[in-house]
Chains A and B, each alone.
Chain A
């Protein structure tokens, strides 16, 4: 005996192109619900089969092969395909970073390029927090050095200035003494004989020095011997 469920199952098979036995066909014809069901399914199937799916465009195979070649070529220049750092130490570090920030999804590019991401992270941290301190430390050292050089330069300039002053004083004193001696010598001669005095002054014996150093030493020696007397 055929029931409605079995008839519906046969209707399903009918939709797949099977032929149904005559007794089932009779049952469907006499049962309005089964007839409606069959009619509805036939409409749905005919609507599906009426769909006009276009043929693929001409040259599709060539286009696909070109596409594959292009993608392959572009991937050769792209970043390596690793999604996690290969080194286990870096992997542990990376996992630790993940654990530090719960409920935050790290962008895939950062996951793939873990090592460069961490290096650039360190650079940023260094720039933000450590860099200024290091810079300040370096600046303090530089400042100390500059201070030392400045002190040294001041001391040196004092010393040079003192030496030059003493040499200049010595020279002036020496010249003054020579002049005084010659004046005294001339006073002892005739006051009228100006020409003679002049000639004697002109013919006065000036010290001869072998070199600049020798001249310096001579002046220094002379200054030590004569300075107290001169200033007195």
Chain B
């Protein structure tokens, strides 16, 4: 329970001009932001860029932060929104090829970097591909629930959604993911 109070105090200090106080917040939450970014992008370099940009945005928007809400939920929301915005921009760029990210995931190995493939295990790759075939709202809740192990309440705070909506999204996301993974059972088992 001390963490939110500490966070609020750190935010206050930063707003008073003590930029080093922000370092404490970065220390506490860069890990979770990185993991969310990585699970949503699937690329360590991209995830690192996301983390930098997210904390810069948070630093600039610190005035809009209200201490009645956990800093963790606030920064997680900035992360999720930022990654989704980036995806949208990429989609707009890719629209000249009339292929969306999700469609591109169905394209077989020709688009993959072989070095990247070697680095990741095939099993993880199959699962990540399956996750990215889900609608964005399902992807987000699923990653926050199972990768970040956030509670339903935390997810609801992060995404500013009603608790019931979060539960429904998670239920549908799991069901849909299991449907996508069903034909890939052999790959998963191998």
Contact A63:B52 (CB < 8 A) given known A43-B181, A53-B35: yes
Q: How far is the CB of B40 from chain A (nearest CB, A)?
A: 11
Check A48 against B146 for contact (C-beta < 8 Å). yes
Check A65 against B127 for contact (C-beta < 8 Å). no
Contact A50:B124 (CB < 8 A) given known A61-B26, A64-B26, A71-B56: yes
Q: Tell me which residues from 8 to 36 in chain B have a Cβ below 8 Å from any Cβ of chain A.
A: 19, 22-23, 26-27, 30-31, 34-35
Q: Is the C-beta of A47 less than 8 angstroms from some C-beta in chain B? A: yes
Contact A40:B182 (CB < 8 A) given known A56-B51, A57-B48: yes
Q: Is the C-beta of A45 less than 8 angstroms from some C-beta in chain B? A: yes
How many angstroms between the C-alpha atoms of A65 and B58 in the bound complex? 12
Check A65 against B22 for contact (C-beta < 8 Å). yes
Q: How far is the CB of A93 from chain B (nearest CB, A)?
A: 31
Residues of the B chain whose Cβ atoms lie less than 8 Å from the Cβ of A67: 52, 55-56
Q: How far is the CB of A175 from chain B (nearest CB, A)?
A: 101
Residues of the A chain whose Cβ atoms lie less than 8 Å from the Cβ of B34: 56, 60
Q: Is the C-beta of B82 less than 8 angstroms from some C-beta in chain A? A: no
Check B56 against A65 for contact (C-beta < 8 Å). no
How many angstroms between the C-alpha atoms of A12 and B179 in the bound complex? 15
How many angstroms between the C-alpha atoms of A64 and B178 in the bound complex? 37
Residues of the B chain whose Cβ atoms lie less than 8 Å from the Cβ of A61: 23, 26-27, 30
Main secondary structure of the interface of A (DSSP, over half): helix
Check A64 against B174 for contact (C-beta < 8 Å). no
How many angstroms between the C-alpha atoms of A12 and B142 in the bound complex? 13
Check B30 against A56 for contact (C-beta < 8 Å). yes
Check A49 against B146 for contact (C-beta < 8 Å). yes
Contact A52:B48 (CB < 8 A) given known A61-B30, A67-B56: no
Check B178 against A68 for contact (C-beta < 8 Å). no
Q: Is the C-beta of B156 less than 8 angstroms from some C-beta in chain A? A: no
Residues of the A chain whose Cβ atoms lie less than 8 Å from the Cβ of B147: 48, 51, 53
The residue that A44 contacts in the complex, of B27, B121, B177, with Cβ under 8 A, is: B177
Check B124 against A64 for contact (C-beta < 8 Å). no
Q: Is the C-beta of A22 less than 8 angstroms from some C-beta in chain B? A: no
B-side interface residues, number (CB < 8 Å): 42
How many angstroms between the C-alpha atoms of A61 and B20 in the bound complex? 11
Contact A44:B38 (CB < 8 A) given known A61-B30, A65-B23: no
A-side interface residues, number (CB < 8 Å): 28
Residues of the B chain whose Cβ atoms lie less than 8 Å from the Cβ of A57: 44, 48
The residue that A50 contacts in the complex, of B19, B23, B31, B123, with Cβ under 8 A, is: B123
How many angstroms between the C-alpha atoms of A16 and B142 in the bound complex? 11
Check A44 against B174 for contact (C-beta < 8 Å). yes
Additional 5 contacts, C-beta under 8 A, given A47-B181, A67-B52:
A12-B170, A12-B174, A50-B124, A51-B147, A64-B51
Query: 9 closest pairs, A vs B, by CB?
Result: A40-B178, A56-B34, A44-B178, A48-B146, A67-B52, A44-B177, A47-B127, A64-B55, A53-B35
> What are 23 A-B contacts with C-beta separation under 8 Å?
A12-B170, A12-B171, A15-B174, A40-B175, A40-B179, A41-B178, A44-B178, A45-B174, A47-B177, A48-B147, A50-B123, A50-B127, A51-B39, A52-B121, A53-B39, A53-B147, A54-B44, A56-B48, A60-B30, A64-B51, A64-B55, A67-B55, A71-B56
| Chain B residues proximal to chain A, CB less than 8 Å | 19, 22-23, 26-27, 30-31, 34-35, 38-39, 44, 48, 51-52, 55-56, 59, 121, 123-124, 127-128, 130-131, 142, 145-147, 152, 167, 170-171, 174-175, 177-179, 181-182, 185, 188
